[in-house]
């Protein structure tokens, strides 16, 4: 088997396998989902097959199965004598994929079952073929799922947390988490004007909607970025609307040095370098193998931007010169992005949230030391959980006497005690938290 490397949708280096072309969508989908259960993000696992002629179907199978994991799992559990979670992981994935097609595709049931059984044989699970066949053929007798997890397509711990944190908005959050995420573009204003790019989209007959931000538009129908006009020229970046907000809070003076902390794959780094084209920008991440770290890309090749590797819980990477502006886009639970990354609701657990909060606080404490006096640090997460947002800010405030929380307003979302929160909104944007702190 030969492999090729190329850059993924998130800008990171990915391996493409030519096995992709030889196998059926069910075979590939079972392989992808198995990797997800083993800890790989769905987007990355799927990207390995981006050159497959069946990529659209493969994407549908994997995303729909993850989006509806809890109801599919419950229906299957109702008709299986053996608990699903005690089965071989590939067999479990094949059953979920079969159930997904019986529930959400127009394929005749016998054909859907036959495809899955054939995939099982190809994977080397011939002996499980009979079991898969027997369970899937009983699928239409499965009772409608009644558990909350199946109703909301979320794990119980997330349901409880969302209800506690957002008693009035929980229904909309639950609903949005099973929808498809929108595709929003940030127009790269150092390359092309916003209205000029909109004219280009109209010329190519690509429908789009204006947003609350002048330089952001949302496509009516998501499509491959490489098919959009100006892809080669770097006229745009694919970037969620809420994710475009924190950069505006930096407000640097022309001579200010900016640190983009936790920067991979560099989406916000490129935005900072684009919007503040006269400011030197250092982008650091603990990750090493990322295209933007070592391979210049069309849209990432900015003169004022340098990508480097470093563990930002330490100062081993630091040259000793303080930064005037820091953006900390912290690693988090990703709970604001469930429609974009449905695998999060299947693979994360409650302990991950507390662990993320500890790391966020550690990063803040360390970065505060390298912020210049009167400097500004913008903290953000793509989480909606209070523990990672206001919870972390509150803890951070108790550890330092020289922090002034600065109020601000943004075109979407609402204020919180320590910052600003957007909640995921169907076909609009993800859930994000932002706080701005000045060093006194």
Ligand X SMILES: C[S@@+](CC[C@H](N)C(=O)[O-])C[C@H]1O[C@@H](n2cnc3c(N)ncnc32)[C@H](O)[C@@H]1O
Among 171, 196, 311, 358, indicate the residue that binds ligand X (CB under 6 A): 311
Among 287, 395, 400, 438, indicate the residue that binds ligand X (CB under 6 A): 287
Q: How far from 43 is each of 59, 135, 340, CA to CA, in Å?
A: 9, 29, 9
Closest approach of ligand X to the CB of residue 329, in Å = 3
Query: Closest Cα partner for 426 from 244, 153, 177, 176?
Result: 176
Contact 392, 365 (CB under 8 A): no
Please report which helix (H) or strand (E) contains residue 143, including its range.
none
364 binds ligand X (CB under 6 A): no
Stretch that binds ligand X, among 57-65, 167-175, 264-272, 394-402 (CB under 6 A): 264-272
Q: Where are the alpha helices (DSSP H) in 153-287?
A: 156-165, 170-176, 194-203, 267-275
Please report which helix (H) or strand (E) contains residue 216, including its range.
strand 216-219
Among 129, 182, 266, 375, indicate the residue that binds ligand X (CB under 6 A): 266
312 binds ligand X (CB under 6 A): yes
Contacts of 332 (CB under 8 A, 6+ apart): 356, 360, 381, 382, 383, 388
Stretch that binds ligand X, among 13-21, 63-71, 101-109, 281-289 (CB under 6 A): 281-289
Among 129, 182, 252, 265, indicate the residue that binds ligand X (CB under 6 A): 265
SS3 content of the chain, % helix, strand, coil (to 5): 45, 20, 40
Stretch that binds ligand X, among 91-99, 305-313, 368-376, 398-406 (CB under 6 A): 305-313
Q: Is 382 a catalytic residue?
A: yes
262 binds ligand X (CB under 6 A): yes
Q: Cα–Cα distance between 143 and 184 in angstroms, integer?
A: 39
Contact 379, 366 (CB under 8 A): no
Closest approach of ligand X to the CB of residue 56, in Å = 25
267 binds ligand X (CB under 6 A): yes
Closest approach of ligand X to the CB of residue 263, in Å = 5
Give the binding-site size for ligand X (rule: CB under 6 A).
15
Among 285, 324, 343, 390, indicate the residue that binds ligand X (CB under 6 A): 285
How do 323-329 and 258-261 pair as beta strands?
A: parallel
Q: Cα–Cα distance between 139 and 149 in angstroms, integer?
A: 19
Closest approach of ligand X to the CB of residue 297, in Å = 13
Query: 115 vs 270, which CB is nearer to ligand X?
Result: 270
Query: 166 vs 307, which CB is nearer to ligand X?
Result: 307
Among 263, 392, 393, 410, indicate the residue that binds ligand X (CB under 6 A): 263
94 binds ligand X (CB under 6 A): no
Contact 96, 346 (CB under 8 A): no
356 binds ligand X (CB under 6 A): no
Closest approach of ligand X to the CB of residue 416, in Å = 19
238 binds ligand X (CB under 6 A): no
- Secondary structure (DSSP) of 59-118: HHHHHHHHHTHHHHHHHHHHH-SS-GGGS-HHHHHHHHHHHHHHHH--S-HHHHHHHHHH
Span between the terminal Cα atoms of the chain, in Å: 59
Instruction: Give the residues lining the site for ligand X (CB under 6 A).
Output: 262-268, 285-287, 311-313, 329, 331
Active site residues: 382
């Amino acid at each position: 088997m030969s492999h090729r490397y190329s850059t993924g949708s998130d800008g990171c280096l990915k391996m493409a396998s030519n096995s992709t072309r030889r196998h059926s969508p069910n075979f590939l989908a079972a392989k992808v989902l198995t990797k997800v259960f083993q800890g790989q993000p769905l987007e990355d696992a799927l990207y390995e097959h981006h050159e497959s002629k069946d990529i659209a179907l493969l994407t549908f199978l994997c995303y729909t199965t993850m989006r509806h994991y809890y109801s599919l799992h419950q229906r299957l559990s109702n008709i299986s004598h053996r608990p699903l979670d005690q089965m071989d992981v590939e067999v479990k994935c094949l059953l979920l994929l079969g159930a997904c097609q019986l529930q959400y595709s127009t394929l005749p049931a016998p054909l859907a079952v036959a495809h899955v059984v054939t995939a099982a044989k190809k994977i080397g699970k011939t002996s499980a073929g009979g079991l898969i066949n027997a369970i899937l053929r009983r699928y239409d007798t499965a009772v409608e799922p009644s558990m909350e997890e199946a109703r909301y397509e979320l794990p119980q711990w997330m349901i409880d947390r969302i209800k506690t944190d957002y008693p009035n908005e929980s229904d909309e959050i639950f609903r949005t988490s099973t929808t498809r995420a929108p595709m929003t573009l940030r127009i790269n204003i150092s390359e092309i004007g916003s209205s000029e790019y909109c004219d280009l989209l109209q010329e190519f007959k690509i429908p789009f909607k204006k947003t609350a931000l002048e330089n952001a538009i949302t496509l009516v129908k998501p499509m491959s970025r490489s098919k959009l006009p100006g892809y080669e020229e770097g006229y745009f970046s694919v970037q969620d609307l809420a994710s475009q907000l924190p950069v505006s809070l930096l407000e640097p003076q022309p001579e200010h040095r900016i640190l983009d902390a936790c920067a991979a794959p560099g989406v916000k780094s490129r935005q900072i370098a684009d919007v503040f084209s006269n400011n030197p920008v250092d982008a650091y991440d603990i990750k090493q193998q990322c295209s933007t770290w070592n391979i210049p890309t069309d849209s990432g090749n900015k003169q004022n931007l340098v990508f480097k590797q470093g563990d930002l819980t330490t100062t081993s990477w630091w040259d000793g010169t303080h930064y005037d502006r820091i953006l900390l886009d912290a690693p988090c639970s990703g709970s604001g992005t469930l429609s974009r990354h449905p695998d999060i609701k299947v693979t994360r657990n409650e302990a991950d949230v507390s662990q993320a909060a500890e790391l966020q606080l550690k990063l803040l404490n360390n970065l505060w030391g390298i912020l210049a006096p009167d400097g500004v640090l913008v903290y953000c997460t793509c989480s909606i959980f209070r523990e990672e947002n206001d919870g972390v800010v509150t803890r951070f405030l108790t550890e330092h006497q020289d922090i002034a929380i600065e109020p601000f307003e943004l075109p979407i979302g609402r204020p919180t005690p320590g910052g600003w929160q957007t909640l995921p909104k169907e076909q609009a944007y993800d859930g994000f938290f932002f706080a701005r702190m000045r060093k006194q």
